[in-house]
Amino acid sequence: MKVKKFIVKDMNEALAKIRYELGEEAVIINQTKVRQPGIKGFFSKKLIQVTAATESQKDKRDIKLNSNDDLLINSLELIKNAVNYAEVEEKIHPTEKKEVSGEKFYRDIKNDYNEKTYVIKNQEEKETMETNKLLEEMNEMKILLNNFINKTKDKDEEEADPLYERLRILDLEPLLMKSIVEEFNSIEEELPLEQKLKKVLEDKVTIYNGDMEGPVVFVGPTGVGKTTTIAKLAGRLSLIENKKVGLVTVDTYRIGAVEQLKTYAEIMDIPFKVVFNINDMEEAIKSMENCDVVLIDTTGRSSKNSMQLSQLRAFVDKVNTENINLVISATTKNDDISTIVEGYKKLNFNHIIITKLDETVSYGSILNIVYHGNKDINFVTTGQNVPDDIKKLDSSSICRLVLGEDNIC
């Protein structure tokens, strides 16, 4: 309980002061007439000493801020009191007490109210932001938890599944594995696991069986064997199939690249042209009009360098052919296959040549390449020997390699 004495001239002044200092709930517990202290007291009017008390600690500094509404009500109440008090003060002390006049007090209260409203507003905004953040985090946790539960569930199911057990050692991409399992399960025919699996895998591999004629372009990352593959094909087409073959290279970037293909052209005695810029391309192709096949070599480019790929695309577009081959090595890491294939899709390749099968013992990469590239396999290469180490495998032979039933020595 808070008790306070007030010396006032009349009860109006007392009430205003009590309300201001102790609040609306204050009660008057005593009032007596007193004289002002000192000699002056004998000559002036008697004053009233009022004792008031309040249970609550509410005053203008301790407003309990439950909400904006509470604050508004409290502050309006205080403002009302202040105005009353100001009026009373003005009546009693018109001149001497200017500095504690109602106006100043009103201003203080207003500032106090604004300050507290601002604090509350900020507090509310902060709380809303924190709540939203918390909700977001909870949502993320929910997703993570769901993923974890699903993964654990999938993993448990996978571990129990002999098909997954078999696929895991083939080094296949998870998404490809999933699609194989789905297709496997959709086959109603009762067959042994291996046979059923072979059936599914064979459906995933398509082979290009068309003839090689007109301009044929070879694109792909550096060092995968584009030039060597062209040399092998040129030998095979000219020496074995007796076709008229022409060679063109746009690879003037790498030192020795021109000489590499030129040497093969000289050995096989076939025409050879170097294209230095896009305008030369049409002319080079035109100069080989009498050839059945024109094999066009390009510079090896990183699939991550879209600038270089765009430049290459300009050359390829000039060739104007439906026969563009992506050359990619079977030794490519699974994680890189999708990046390479996606990058080279810019060049609109329509066939795939998979090289260096002799350099790996796990042929799952062939399926991964085909899965990402979604195009026919044209050839596979199996060594450095020109022109021997190039093959056209059918889907069954490729699947036997993938399943480990066969290998490339």
Binding site for Mg ion (CB under 5 A): 226-227
- Interface residues for ligand GTP in 243-272 (CB under 6 A)? 251, 254, 257
Pairwise CA distance, residues 261 & 263, whole Å: 5
Q: Is residue 369 close enough to count as binding ligand GTP by CB under 6 A?
A: no
Pairwise CA distance, residues 268 & 231, whole Å: 9
Q: Is residue 226 close enough to count as binding ligand GTP by CB under 6 A?
A: yes
Q: How far is CA 317 from CA 186, 281, 312, 349, in A?
A: 42, 10, 9, 11
Nearer to ligand GTP, 63 or 224 (CB): 224
Query: Following DSSP, what letter does each residue of 241-284 receive, concatenated?
Result: S---EEEEE---SSTTHHHHHHHHHHHHT--EEE--SHHHHHHH
Return the residue nearest ligand GTP (CB atom): 300
Pairwise CA distance, residues 392 & 409, whole Å: 16
- In this structure, the number of other CB atoms found within 10 A of the CB of residue 1 comes to 8
Number of residues that bind ligand GTP (CB under 6 A): 20
As beta bridge partners, residue 47 has 34
Residue 257 CB, nearest distance to ligand GTP (Å)?
A: 6
Dihedral through CA 337, CA 387, CA 292, CA 322, nearest 10?
0
Contacts 24+ apart (CB under 8 A), 161-169: 162/193, 163/193, 163/197, 166/193, 166/197, 167/197
Among Mg ion, ligand GTP, none, partner that 389 touches (CB below 5 to 8 angstroms by kind): ligand GTP
Nearer to Mg ion, 81 or 227 (CB): 227
Binding test (CB under 6 A) with ligand GTP, winner from 81, 228, 325, 360 = 228
Nearer to ligand GTP, 160 or 409 (CB): 409
CB contact at 8 A, 386 and 192: no
Binding test (CB under 6 A) with ligand GTP, winner from 74, 227, 325, 395 = 227
Among Mg ion, ligand GTP, none, partner that 173 touches (CB below 5 to 8 angstroms by kind): none
Of 395, 408, 402, 405, residue with least CA distance to 362: 402
Q: Is residue 383 close enough to count as binding ligand GTP by CB under 6 A?
A: yes
CB contact at 8 A, 57 and 25: no
**For ligand GTP, which stretch binds (CB under 6 A), given 89-97, 119-127, 140-148, 353-361?**
353-361
Residue 218 CB, nearest distance to Mg ion (Å)?
A: 9
Binding test (CB under 6 A) with ligand GTP, winner from 66, 147, 152, 222 = 222
Binding test (CB under 6 A) with ligand GTP, winner from 13, 89, 173, 389 = 389
Nearer to Mg ion, 227 or 365 (CB): 227
Pairwise CA distance, residues 203 & 376, whole Å: 12
Interacting residues with ligand GTP (CB under 6 A): 222-228, 251, 254, 257, 300, 355-356, 358-359, 381-384, 389
